[in-house]
Chain A
Amino acid sequence: MKRVYMYSVGERIWHWVQAIAIIFLIITGAEAHFPGFKVFGFTYSIYIHKILAFLLVLNFLLGGFYHLSVGTIKQFIPRPRGFFDGLFLQARYYLVGYFRGEPHPFEKTPEHKLNPLQKLTYFGLLNILLPAQIITGVLMWGSVYFPEAFKMFGGMPVLAPIHTLGAYLFVAFIIVHVYMTTLGPTPWTMIKSMINGWEEIPEEEGH
């Protein structure tokens, strides 16, 4: 096993702020959506939801700026060449190879942290799902400040269901995402690496 400094401080802050914000946004959103579900109480959950939403937007913008300025943004962009082959290989690994003890089809390095399946997922997550949540959320919040735009997008009857659907998809993503972090050499390896930045990777692991 070799120890590799996989995640910089900036990446880790970006990740955890995002993770905490999204989890609490889901909890507070669920309180508003299902009034029988109580954690903070309806009124407080609405306040917390608003504050965390702005924190998430800020984090989204700062994260984008960080990844752009240090160049790690390219890791999130799927490249067409061999992408689908890689996707198939990775899916096969999770479904078959993993159980047979086959090596990971792609070597994880600080420069290439994401496998093709992750690239596809995060590409959708960061370019479609999260922006959709932010846009619908901002439009609903801003309905009194820019009512024409709010109306143009169909108002609450359109925006709120899209926002709710996005929240459901985030929950589904988090379930799978958290589970996938346990597929390392030990169940805690990847989670620890996102905390301290260092990840243990099998030396023989190859491509």
Chain B
Amino acid sequence: MERSRDIWTVIFLFLVIPFIVNAANSPKSLHPRIQLLDHNGIPVIKSGKPISTEKTCGACHDYRYITAHSYHAQQGKNEFFTKENRPESLPAYVLSPGMFGKWCGLPNRVLAAHGITDVADFDLGTPEWVQKCGTCHVGAGPSEYDRNNRRLDSVDPATTNKFDPDYHYVDARSGELKSWDWRKSGVMEMDCFLCHIDNFDRVSRDQMLRQGKFAWAVTATLGKTGIVQKTTSGWTYNRKKFDAQGYVQCDALHIIDPETENCAQCHGFGSSEREAINPFFSKNVLRGTLKMGRVYSPEMISESNLNIKNKKELTYAWDVHAERMLKCTSCHYSLNNPAYEEKDPETQPSHLKFDPRLPDVNMYIKKPNHDFAKGNSCPETVADNLDNTMRRCEDCHDASKAHSWLPYPEHHFKRLGCETCHIPDKKMWALETADWTVLDTDGKFMKTFRGIQGSIKDTSALITGFKPAILPRISPDEISFYKLMPYNLITSYYWYDEGKQRPVFTRLLAKIYLTKNSEGKTVYRADIVKKFDTNGNGKLEKTELRLDTAEKVAFIRDKLKELGVEKPVIHGEITPFSINHNVVGTKHAIRDCQVCHSPDSRLFDQMKLADYKPANTTLKYSEFCQQCEDVSQLTEQKEDGIYFNPSSFLKCYYIIGHDHNKWVEIIGVLSIFFSIIGVIGHDIFRIIRRYKR
């Protein structure tokens, strides 16, 4: 009997195993095989030239359409300000609302504009932008076309204007303006693979950019697929992966819809599976994490390999949406994706419950909109015309059904963003200060982080996390006026030339602070060491590299003047970065009313801005999303640094349990006091009278 059962088991396995093996080997992608072509339309396996996505992907998808509108590709290049549309609040050195043209206190670089006639006014040219910013730029846009919409590699640099910012750069060593030959470097076409394959090689891509081999960047992204191989001279193609016509099978490329990992390359730590988030190996993957402490992952924080305070108690995912298998594109979807088609009820006949006319899928495949639904994160300004196109919390969740315990739910929903309670704190570090008034030996700003005791590169440093600052923000729903939302505040200090009305270029600061020693290593200049080395150990420590006295400020200011800066002053700017990720579920959200409605209201928590403020520096709050005109009372000097104090921001609110009007309390208490005194006095006389009788 047992023998017969064994035979049947073997037969069963014999029949089933091939199906399992076949299923395991089946392609992950439905995408058909692809013929990888070069810029001339010749299969790369024959030409050996870099892959052109314009020719390869563009064979089926409208490359021109995609790259012309996508704000990920254009980065503001298609939104350059003109005299007519420049917002009055923006200075002249801000050329566009996107990262190509916008000035920001973190990179502290000024994109050179057309019309410059002196190298002293030239900071960042397009070639250098692609080289340094291209790591987080998907390609196309400014990496492919100049500001006159000529393909960059089609222009002879000899024919360009001497200061044309698209064809020149300032050599960091000599400080001279040099011409860039795009015909040699090639252009970086839109790197479709960066977002549409799951085994992208961002490090190799980055290397190509740094080396100025822009045309090879897209090819290098395939570095982990086995299709391409790195050689000493460049990249070659692996013939085994190609068929006779130069096609590669889709399972070699793993073409996919973008996963969280694809977006996380630029937008902060993220994963779609319960893999450990490890920031220490993600040198370039900091952007979203750096600014807001963002981690988007289903990994349990308690299972993280990071040294997080009270980690064992944090038995929930970094983000509840990631845990529930939502990926970035679930909310930030393509705006013409038929799956997310939503009819405008105002334009639909009222009797029509369902409209079966869905957008044509073929049209979507041919022309997929690469403008993704977005919110309105402060201080991001690119493609503002698409603000609030994404679904907000309330578009998916019926909050009224999950908040029956909450008194006055409508009031809370109108005045608080869901994030305020559902992102009670961040279990990650984030940037606190970017101090460009001094430089580290890498030529970058000195920085401090909040939420970590020690360096972010130190695996043993304790991550304490931080509580976001709560600020009022104009709500997309105008009826609500302002909503209180969580933010990370980053303070930046930088030198500003009041004569030329623009930030001082970093290369001038590098001249003041840094030099090369005999070994070719970048070190601080001797006079800088002498000035800042307060403990006299011959080295400059983080706490020493500060312009915390008027004397030190004057020292650097004089040196800047010697280098031609007319009126150098220090600007201090506080930028709020809105926090919308690391959402926690009901169980871990704020449910205790007294967290806000008490004298220790969480809404009034102060956030440390910086360890110090350079002498005689006035702090201003950048833009602040048009929320508040009077920000003079927002900062408070304490012994250990300067703090953000939201009290004056919250004046327009009256937080029950926290706010008391002094005069009302005095008059009220006095009225009760005199009532009691009157009653007691009268009663005493009554008692006396009774005894007299």
Query: Which A residues have a C-beta under 8 Å from some C-beta of B?
Result: 32-35, 42-43, 46-47, 50, 94, 98-99, 101, 141, 143-145, 147, 151, 155-157, 159-162, 164-165, 167-169, 171-173, 175-176, 179
Contacts and interface: CB of A to CB of B under 8 A. Distances in A.
Given A33-B656, A46-B593, A172-B674, 6 more contacts: A32-B597, A33-B657, A99-B686, A147-B479, A165-B668, A172-B671
Nearest to A187: B686
Contact of A165 (B481, B594, B652, B664): B664
A35 B599 contact: yes
Nearest to B679: A179
A157 B654 contact: yes
B672 A32 contact: no
Contacts of B679: 175-176, 179
Give the residue among B405, B481, B594, B675 with the most A Cβ atoms within 10 A: B675
Contacts of B678: 176
Interface residues of B, number: 39
B667 interface: yes
A175 B680 CA distance: 10
A178 to B, nearest CB: 9
B668 A168 contact: yes
Contact of B652 (A99, A155, A159, A172): A155
Given A35-B597, A43-B407, A147-B481, A169 B671 contact: yes
B516 interface: no
Contacts of B689: 99, 101
15 contacts: A32-B656, A35-B599, A35-B657, A42-B657, A43-B407, A99-B689, A144-B411, A160-B656, A160-B661, A165-B664, A168-B672, A169-B668, A175-B672, A175-B676, A179-B679
Given A32-B657, A157-B651, A144 B410 contact: yes
Contact of A42 (B594, B653, B659, B682): B594
Contacts of A155: 652, 654
B675 A165 contact: no
B598 to A, nearest CB: 4
Give the residue among B481, B593, B599, B689 with the most A Cβ atoms within 10 A: B593
A34 B665 CA distance: 12
Contacts, number: 96
Interface string B660-693: 1100110111011011101100110110010000
A32 B656 CA distance: 6
B675 A175 contact: yes
Nearest to A147: B479
A191 B660 CA distance: 36
Give the residue among B414, B654, B669, B682 with the most A Cβ atoms within 10 A: B654
Contact of A157 (B407, B410, B481, B652): B652
A156 B667 contact: no
Give the residue among B652, B656, B659, B683 with the most A Cβ atoms within 10 A: B656
B408 interface: yes
Nearest to B674: A172
A43 B410 contact: no
A168 B672 CA distance: 7
B593 A42 contact: yes
Nearest to B656: A32
Given A46-B408, A99-B689, A165-B664, A172 B672 contact: yes
A169 B410 CA distance: 30
A99 B659 contact: no
A157 B671 CA distance: 22
A167 B671 CA distance: 11
Contacts of A161: 654, 661, 664
B414 to A, nearest CB: 5
Contacts of B414: 143-144
A94 B405 CA distance: 50
A101 B679 CA distance: 18
B667 A168 contact: yes
Interface string B230-265: 000000000000000000000000000000000000
Contacts of A99: 685-686, 689
A144 B599 CA distance: 25
B675 A172 contact: yes
Give the residue among B405, B407, B651, B669 with the most A Cβ atoms within 10 A: B407
A50 B406 CA distance: 13
A168 B671 contact: yes
A171 B651 CA distance: 28
B654 A156 contact: yes
B664 A164 contact: yes
A176 B675 contact: yes
Nearest to B408: A46
Contacts of A101: 689
B411 A179 contact: no
5 smallest CB-CB distances across A and B, nearest first, come from: A168-B668, A156-B654, A161-B661, A46-B407, A172-B675
Contacts of B599: 35
A118 to B, nearest CB: 16
Nearest to A44: B407
B411 A143 contact: yes
Contacts of B671: 168-169, 171-172
A156 to B, nearest CB: 3
A98 to B, nearest CB: 8
Nearest to A34: B657
Interface string B473-485: 0000001010000
B668 A164 contact: yes
Contacts of A50: 407-408
Contact of A160 (B411, B659, B667, B682): B659
Interface string B43-79: 0000000000000000000000000000000000000
B298 to A, nearest CB: 32
Nearest to A176: B675
A175 B594 CA distance: 30
A148 to B, nearest CB: 9
Contacts of B685: 99
A60 to B, nearest CB: 22
A43 B672 contact: no
B653 A156 contact: yes
Contacts of B410: 144-145
Give the residue among A155, A156, A167 with the most B Cβ atoms within 10 A: A156
Contacts of B667: 165, 168
Give the residue among B411, B479, B664, B689 with the most A Cβ atoms within 10 A: B664
Interface string B578-614: 0000000000000001100111000000000000000
A199 B667 CA distance: 36
Contacts of A151: 481
Contacts of B654: 155-157, 159-161
Contacts of A162: 664
A119 B654 CA distance: 35
B627 to A, nearest CB: 16
B282 to A, nearest CB: 43
B671 to A, nearest CB: 4
Nearest to B673: A172
A46 B651 CA distance: 23
A155 to B, nearest CB: 7
Contacts of B481: 147, 151
Contacts of B668: 164-165, 167-169, 171
A99 B653 CA distance: 51
A96 to B, nearest CB: 10
Give the residue among B671, B674, B689 with the most A Cβ atoms within 10 A: B671
A48 B23 CA distance: 61
Contacts of B659: 157, 160
A74 to B, nearest CB: 29
B24 to A, nearest CB: 53
B596 to A, nearest CB: 10
